[in-house]
Structure 1
Amino acid sequence: MAATRLVIVGGGFAGSKCAKTLRKHFSPEACEIVLFNRENHMVFHPLLAEVAGASINPDAVAAPLRQMLPTIHCRTEEVQHIDLNASEIAYHGYDNRPRTMTYDHLVLSCGSAVNLGTVPGMADHAFPLKTIGDAIALRLHIMQLLEKAEVCEDEALKHHYLSFIIVGGGFSGVEVAGEINDLLRGTHRFFHNISDEDLSVTLVHSRDQLLPEITPSLRDFAKTKMERAGINLALNARVQYVISEGVGLADGRFLRGATVVCTVGNSIPLVLERLEVPKERHRLMTQPDMRLVDFDNAWAIGDCAHIINAYDRKPSPPTGQFAERQGRQAADNIVRVMRGEPTRPFRFKPLGQLCAIGAHHAVAELFGQRLSGFPAWFLWRGIYLFKLPSWSRRAKVGFDWAWDLVFPRDLAHPRTDPTERVSTAHYRPGNDIIRQGDPALNFYILVNGEVEVVRIDEASGETLQLGILGPGDFFGEMALIDQRPRSATIRALTPVEVLVMGKNLFSSISNALAPFRHVIAEAIKRRGGALWQRMPMAREILEPQPLSAFLEPCAIEPLTPDHTFADALQCFDEHGSDFCCVINGEGCLEGVVTRTDIFRAIDAGAHAHTPVREFMACDPVVVTDEESCLLAAATMRDHGFKWLPVVESYGTPTLKGYVRAERMLNAVVQRSPEQNRRHAGA
């Protein structure tokens, strides 16, 4: 008879405790226990902030699962799909080919996933703190900024380097803010150019008090001690966007900082999100005994599960102590099911809460007793030391902590020089993406939004607008190819998303991919000379002219996104125009449809009732009626456009009409001195 197979997905507190408890009840011959976890170790999350703050070494909080669970089959393949009805999971094997595995019982303990996409720019510019890799990256980043600040000659830029913003006032946010503050203020004495006044650590929290899980008196103590330690608290402050220079708040304030750490934004892992089972706030709903609703052989525990605690009839919080108890009791309930015995509902009386707040202080609630200050900090370290999963880890952490009491924190900054990759970045209106005179390091592709290209004359200080770029455009290639500093500034006109490619990667792709190289060459050819350089009198003639002098009403009545392909085709047939604008109910421009778009829609299988929104060019490049004629002319030249929509403003793109390149060129030609001389001679 084949052995019973129990599959556990996730090797955190809950999953590892469940596997260990199950093995105590069943021999390897009687029961095969398989644990899937992407990493080959369990992360002790309560100490990640200490890793980021250089209090302990990274390997001290990583417990190898194979050593913790020697009789369990540990696998690092990633589970891709779960079929609860067929009692089967699908995963990528060692050769990246899909494989399946059946089970008798399944335990889901996948924890939570990081979701920084809810706030614009957070995923691009903020450091998460979920894995050991996150903690190491943050730690090395802090060291790098300290080194930059030490040699920085610009006081404002130095202060920017040494300004840190932590988003989230729960346990993780408070602990990492305290650790970063201790690291900075405990080690800046080793730097000759950094003073205590240069350092800034700000904790941003959306509520009016920190640590909502503990009592008001301990919250007040934590707030007071953190402020005395030099941490700035921004309470009742909700982050609205994040850029490379800091965070913007919903109340209009902007907090500047070179480093943003995000401890909020958790979501359900994708493999669980695909399950068609009841969920509550992105967590799998369970029966009282932790089985999934409507399933007898599938269980959910830990942070990914919504489990009602029979002790107080409240949902279990996503903490380590609850995860461990759930893992143990889920294992006991599986044993009862296999023996034909009734299961028991999850019941656990919380032992308390512990949180370090920095400067050798902590707050604690244990067995109804409240502690704060150094005694709570000493208790916090002692409890977590013995909560570590193995004696080897306890010895390592204990040694690191003892070392930290006597010697300063380690300031080593090993350079890893990772391979360049394509990343994304977010910018707000008015932000400079690249600055004139900066070294050329990256190539940029606009995904959303518009930017302006400006150049500052070093002699006169005059600012010259060279053009506007929109979605699908790119910039930064000329300085990379010529290996020279940036010749212009690129500034965001609207909220902007860009793809960023390092110079070495850009060089490799442009050398190997002929179509990409051709596109770059054509762009360089177009941008090789400004309009007033090729036609010397163009600037003198166009500069005094308001753009309204060339503004024309749209020849075709604008469409709406809900109009159909048939409506668009009829407009082109009746009016003979080359384009048609698409506006929403408020009169704001949403897109344009050209004759080329019509034929592309046909190739894509469009039919008479296909909505315009499905084939229009969204977010077209535009200019406002307050821009100069020079800017409009240069923008059309850079893109090879014959016309350009004109709107009221970039924030409110109410359609005003359009301008044509031919009309501008005709004005230049008609008013040029040579043409005037010909007329005079005639």
Structure 2
Amino acid sequence: MKRIVIVGGGYVGMYTALQLQRRLKPGEAHITVIDADSYMTYQPFLPEAAAGNLEPRHVVVPLRRILRRCTILNGWVTTMDTAARTVVFQPHRGDAREIGYDVLVVAAGSVSRTLPIPGLAEAGIGFKTVEEAIHLRNHVLAQLDLAASTVEPGVAEQALTFVFVGAGFAGVEALAELEDMARDACRSYPTITREDMRWYLVEATERILPEVGADMGRWTLEQLRARDIDVRLGTRLESASGGRIRLSDGTSFAASTLVWTAGVMPHPAVRAGDLPIDDKGRVRATATLTVEGHHDVYTAGDCAAVPDLTRPGEYCAPNAQHAVRQAAVLAGNIVNRLRGRPAVAYRHAYAGSVASLGLHKGVAQIYGCKLRGPLAWFVHRTYHLSRVPTVNRKVRVLVDWTLALFFPREIVALGALTSPRQEFEYASRAAARDLSTPHQADH
């Protein structure tokens, strides 16, 4: 039985494993999937989960439920030895161990690309995981609660100032959905109006949403500014120390919310071996999705430099559209390899992009056709609903959207979800103080 080890349980890892367990006969290969989490996150729906349009559990897919013929290991790969055909697996707790393979798939994905900006690590938060999305939702609502409860103007102003750095898909969609949610929530806060909130979008280049084209990017910019969102183009974040935001255009103001979406970089795990790496930290791939110089190692997705055969000399963009399609070709090539058939090159012309800008608002460019407003928003939802893995998740997402048509969004900030022991620790400290302090009756 051949041993297939897949490093990463995201788009490429999960879809590759899913295709392999469908195509391979029982006993033909043993598939092991290694990932820090036990689920795959459908990232295009993170903005809607953050805005309360979708239940967080409905934007993740449990690996063990859909990959029933695979072994799922939760932890990290710390070393990849292609000469010995082994990887070193480190679980969340316990000793590391070696795992041998006949075929290795490097699909570690990407992580947020940060810069050494003072205060960023302490004040900022990314937007790549469901945990970050839900924390951000709770945080924004908690800031509204704070502003409605305090009598200090400076505290309220800082609480109601929200800064997003990076104007790609993640930044624009996250800001648009959360601003839409906060504007609706204001109806339940008599002392807060939408004019009291300040939303900033900071972008180092001179355009936003480059994926949808220049025209649609300009239209999106106009729509955001019409919603009183302060978009700063050609501007960089210089400091976030002490809760104070300083921009390269000289602007300085206090803010309690800083979201960093200024790009991604390949997962550090790809450097845990002797694989060929390009100048951007990606694994060098061939058109058949093998790693250069390694016929038994495959790669795809955000961590891979895959040649774009439709545009000679360029590489495939790191997005979900390519990742899902690459996974199908990659799995097919592994099956072909095990059965002695020739490999197939990956070729896919980019279909276009869609983005949501809040409820009933969107922008899209599909096969050269430009859409905007409610129609683009509908296309965005329809497309991504069709791409969500499993019928189970499709139905749950559709039910969430249907309920949202008849009921308002929840505005409860469950901040304790991120620190569930806080109340217990407070009670324990209070009890300890009572025991150490003599009671009045004892004197």
What is the TM-score of this pair, normalised by structure 1?
A: 0.60
2:286–2:306 contact (8 Å) kept in structure 1? yes
Distance, in Å, in 1 between the alignment partners of 2:336 and 2:267 is 29
Question: d(CA) in 2 for partners of 1:420 and 1:262?
Answer: 27
Partner letter of residue 245 of structure 2? Answer: V
Whether the 8 Å CA contact 1:90–1:98 is kept in 2: the answer is yes
Q: Structure 1 vs Structure 2: percent identity of aligned residues?
A: 28
Aligned-partner residue type, residue 107 of structure 2: S
Evaluate the alpha carbon distance shift between residue 242 and residue 149 of structure 1 in structure 2; reply closer, same or farther with a 3 A threshold.
same
Structure 2 partner of 1:292: 291
Q: Which residue of 2 aligns with 1:129?
A: 127
State the AA in 2 paired with 1:328: A
The alpha carbon displacement at 1:276 in A equals 3.1
Contact 1:113 1:268 in 2 (8 A): yes
Distance 1:15 1:198, change over 3 A: same
Deviation at 1:270?
A: 2.4
CA distance in 2, matches of 1:244, 1:393: 42
1:283 Cα deviation (Å)? 1.0
Residue 266 of structure 1: how far off its partner (Å): 2.3
Cross-structure match for 1:116: 114
By how many angstroms is 1:265 displaced? 4.6
Shift of 1:107: 0.4
**Partner SS state of residue 211, structure 2:** coil
Matched residue of 1:137: which SS?
A: helix
- Measured after TM superposition, the shift of residue 246 of structure 1 is 3.6
Provide the C-alpha distance between the structure 2 equivalents of 1:94 and 1:406, rounded to a whole number of angstroms: 43
Name the SS of the counterpart of 2:340 in structure 1. Answer: coil
Give the structure 2 partner of residue 321 of structure 1.
Answer: 321
The answer as to whether partners of 1:58 and 1:136 remain within 8 angstroms in 2 is yes
Residues 306, 315 of structure 1: 8 Å contact kept = yes
2:177 alignment partner AA: E
Q: Which runs of 5+ in 1 are unaligned?
A: 422-501, 509-682
- Once residues 226 and 205 of structure 1 are traced to their aligned partners in structure 2, the CA distance between those partners, rounded to angstroms, is 14
* Residue 30 of structure 2: aligned partner: 32
Instruction: Look up the SS of the partner of 1:192 in the other structure.
Output: coil
Following the alignment from structure 1 to structure 2, what is the Cα–Cα distance between the partners of residues 230 and 360? 18
Query: CA contact under 8 A between 1:117 and 1:123: conserved in structure 2?
Result: no
- Residue 266 of structure 1: aligned partner: 264
Q: Distance in 1 between matches of 2:214 and 2:396?
A: 35
Distance change in 2, residues 1:259/1:244 (3 Å): farther
Q: For residues 356-410 of structure 1, give each alpha carbon's deviation from its aligned partner in whole angstroms, at most 9, with x where no partner exists.
A: 1225211111122111111000111111112111222122222222222332211
Mapped partners of 1:100, 1:149: distance in 2? 53
What's the counterpart of residue 226 of structure 1? Answer: 224
Secondary structure in 2 matching 1:213? helix
Distance in 2, matches of 1:356 and 1:402, equals: 17
Alignment: residue pair count: 423
Q: CA deviation at 1:109?
A: 0.7
Name the CA distance, whole Å, in 2 between partners of 1:416 and 1:365. 38
Quote the offset at 1:346 in angstroms.
1.5
| In structure 2, distance between residues paired with 1:276 and 1:225 | 48
* Aligned partners of 1:244 and 1:258 also within 8 Å: no
Whole-angstrom distance in 2 between the partners of 1:175 and 1:353: 13
Amino acid at match of 2:358: G
Check conservation: 2:43, 2:128, Cα contact below 8 A.
yes
Residue 197 and residue 93 in structure 1: after superposition, are their counterparts in 2 closer, same or farther (change >3 A)? closer
**Given residue 290 of structure 1, which amino acid in structure 2 is its aligned partner?**
L
CA distance in 1, matches of 2:343, 2:162: 49
SS in 2 for 1:172: helix
Can you list the C-alpha shifts for 1:307-353, whole angstroms capped at 9, x where unaligned? 01112222111111100111111111122222333322211112211
| Runs of 5+ consecutive residues of structure 2 not aligned to the other structure | 433-443
Provide the C-alpha distance between the structure 2 equivalents of 1:57 and 1:23, rounded to a whole number of angstroms.
29
Cα RMSD (Å)? 2.1
Relative CO higher for 1 or 2, CA cutoff 8 Å, sep ≥ 6?
A: 2
Separation in structure 2 between the aligned mates of residue 45 and residue 266 of structure 1, nearest angstrom = 13
- Cα gap change, 1:381 to 1:38, in 2 (>3 Å): same
Secondary structure, counterpart of 1:180 in structure 2:
helix
Q: Which of 136, 139, 154 is the matching residue for 1:138?
A: 136
What residue in structure 2 maps to residue 337 of structure 1? 337
Secondary structure of the corresponding residue to residue 344 of structure 2? coil
1:405-424 Cα deviation digits (max 9, x unpaired) = 33221112222472799xxx
Return the alpha-carbon distance in structure 2 between the equivalents of residues 340 and 356 of structure 1.
45
Aligned partner of 2:436 in structure 1 is none
TM-score after normalising by structure 2: 0.91
2:48 aligned to which of 44, 47, 50 = 50
Deviation of 1:255 after TM superposition, in Å, equals 4.1
Deviation at 1:186, TM superposition (A): 0.9
Offset, 1:234:
0.8
CA distance in 1 between partners of 2:358 and 2:281 (Å) = 32
CA deviations over 1:427-446 (Å, ceiling 9, x no partner): xxxxxxxxxxxxxxxxxxxx
- Name the structure with the higher helix share: 2
- Give 2:405's aligned residue: 405
Distance 1:277 1:79 in 2: 14
Partner residue in 1 for 2:441? none
Q: 1:192 aligns with which of 190, 193, 201?
A: 190
Q: Distance in 1 between matches of 2:27 and 2:272?
A: 34
Structure 2 CA distance for aligned equivalents of residues 178 and 58 of structure 1: 18
CA contact (8 A) 2:141 2:182 kept: no
Alignment map for 1:90-489 (pairs within 5 Å): 90-93=88-91, 96-280=94-278, 281-313=280-312, 314-414=314-414, 415-416=416-417, 418=419
TM superposition shift of 1:95? 5.4
